[in-house]
């Protein structure tokens, strides 16, 4: 998927919603645990119920790795199901990888070639040679962790150098000089709306992946006010607030209702 296709999908669905598929077997409806692959079945029903409202899905890889080979197989089945049945959907491997040279290339191959994700989240703090191997893959996006929504993100990301430049600003500025930097997106937490104006001055045309709406208390209106650009430029992620809207047999329908509320807010904003 390229940027134009993503923008077209946003305009068609009147939505820039990304749904996080963070599957915890202790939280999913208990009747699914009787099945051979409860993780995949949960994902499948969520996707079928919400695909018309979302432009992206983001499995958090840790929630699959935690269950060993069965979790990884469920992840493989989930991404194949998305690619086969809803090819217009933008897929994000929330893996937070990042290492030097050949190691990064292998990480990129795992998510871009073997699993065929459209994008992957990457930690930037080992520098250009840890990120450019991801950027070498054509029509794939690398999403840099920049200013995260967790409280501990402020421990380092807003520290200033002798010139008053914060660490997250240095990441944004430096990354623009990397090879194929037009294939970058950036993670910016919804709980930091006051920073979006400054971020947009540095990366006016790139997409921002914005977690923290919903359960973490992020403000959609505030994010859109300062974070939107001419191409919308935002993917707003919600995970728990949608996928765990119900623990009953109606979980997929309740997830759809929660997604619909966000999509309708987005449609009003887009107008």
d(CA 250, CA 207): 34
Q: Would you place residue 215 in the very low, low, confident or very high pLDDT band (cuts 50, 70, 90)?
A: low
pLDDT band at 109 (very low <50, low <70, confident <90, very high): very high
The pair of structure tokens assigned to 61 is: 């890889």
Residue 221 or residue 115, greater confidence: 115
**Domain coordinates in residue numbering, the chain:** 3-270
Q: Which pTM value belongs to this model?
A: 0.96
Query: Of these residues, 44, 96, 109, 170, which one is catalytic?
Result: 96
Q: What is the per-residue pLDDT across 12-47, written as a single tens digit (0 to 9) for each?
A: 999 999 999 999 999 999 999 999 999 999 999 999
Q: What percent of the chain has pLDDT over 70?
A: 98
At residue 178, the pLDDT reads 97
How far is the C-alpha of 223 from the C-alpha of 164, rounded, in Å?
Answer: 24
Residue 96 is among the residues annotated as catalytic for this protein: yes
CB 75 within 8 A of CB 43: no
| Model confidence at 214: pLDDT above 80 | no
Given a cut of 80, whether residue 70 has pLDDT beyond it is yes
For residues 41 and 94, what is the distance between their CA atoms, to the nearest angstrom? 20
Residue 149 has pLDDT above 90, yes or no: no
Report the top-level CATH class of 3-270. alpha beta
The reported pLDDT for the residue numbered 100 is: 87
DSSP string, the chain: --HHHHHHHHHHHT--EEEEE---TTTS-GGGGGSS-HHHHHHHHHHHHHTTT-SEEEEBTHHHHTTHHHHHHHHHHHHHHHHHH-TTSEEEEEEEE--SHHHHHHHHIIIIIIS--SEEEE--TT-HHHHHHHHTSTT-EEEEEEE-SSGGGGGTTT-B-TTS-BHHHHHHHHHTTSTTGGGEEEEE-TT-GGGHHHHHHHSSSS-EEE--BSTT-B-HHHHHHHH-BTTB-EEEEE-HHHHTS-SSTTHHHHHHHHHHHHHHHHHHHH-
Percent of the chain scored above 90 by pLDDT? Answer: 89
Q: What pLDDT is stored for residue 216 in this prediction?
A: 59
Average pLDDT value for residue range 145-162? 92
Q: Taking 90 as the threshold, does the pLDDT of residue 175 lie above it?
A: yes
Confidence category of residue 213, pLDDT binned at 50, 70, 90? confident
Structure confidence at residue 93 (pLDDT):
98
CA distances from 114 to 136, 137, 214 (A): 16, 13, 32
Mean pLDDT score across all residues of the chain: 95
40-50 tens-digit pLDDT: 999 999 999 99
pLDDT at residue number 150: 86
């Amino acid at each position: 998927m390229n940027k134009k296709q993503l923008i077209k999908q946003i305009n068609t669905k009147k939505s820039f919603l990304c749904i996080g598929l963070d599957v915890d077997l202790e939280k999913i409806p208990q009747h699914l645990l009787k099945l051979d692959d409860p993780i995949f079945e949960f994902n499948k029903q969520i996707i079928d119920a919400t695909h018309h409202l979302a432009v992206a899905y983001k499995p958090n890889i840790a929630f699959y790795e935690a269950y060993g080979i069965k979790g990884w197989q469920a992840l493989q089945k989930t991404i194949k199901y998305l690619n086969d049945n809803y090819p217009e959907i933008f897929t994000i491997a929330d893996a937070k990888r990042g290492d030097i040279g050949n190691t990064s290339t292998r990480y990129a191959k795992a998510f871009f070639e073997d699993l065929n994700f459209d994008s992957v989240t990457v930690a930037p703090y080992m520098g250009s040679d840890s990120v450019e191997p991801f950027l070498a893959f054509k029509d794939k996006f690398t999403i840099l962790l920049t200013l995260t929504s967790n409280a501990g993100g402020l421990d380092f990301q807003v520290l200033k150098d002798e010139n008053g430049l914060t660490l997250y600003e240095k990441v944004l500025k430096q990354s623009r000089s990397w090879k194929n930097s037009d294939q970058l997106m950036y993670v910016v937490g919804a709980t930091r709306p006051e920073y979006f104006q400054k971020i947009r001055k540095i990366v006016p045309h790139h997409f921002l992946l914005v977690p923290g709406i919903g359960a973490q208390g992020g403000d959609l209106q505030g994010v859109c006010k300062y974070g939107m650009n001419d191409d919308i430029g935002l993917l707003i992620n919600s995970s728990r607030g949608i996928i765990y809207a119900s623990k009953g047999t109606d979980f997929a329908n309740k997830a759809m209702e929660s997604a619909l509320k966000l999509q309708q807010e987005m449609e009003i904003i887009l107008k």
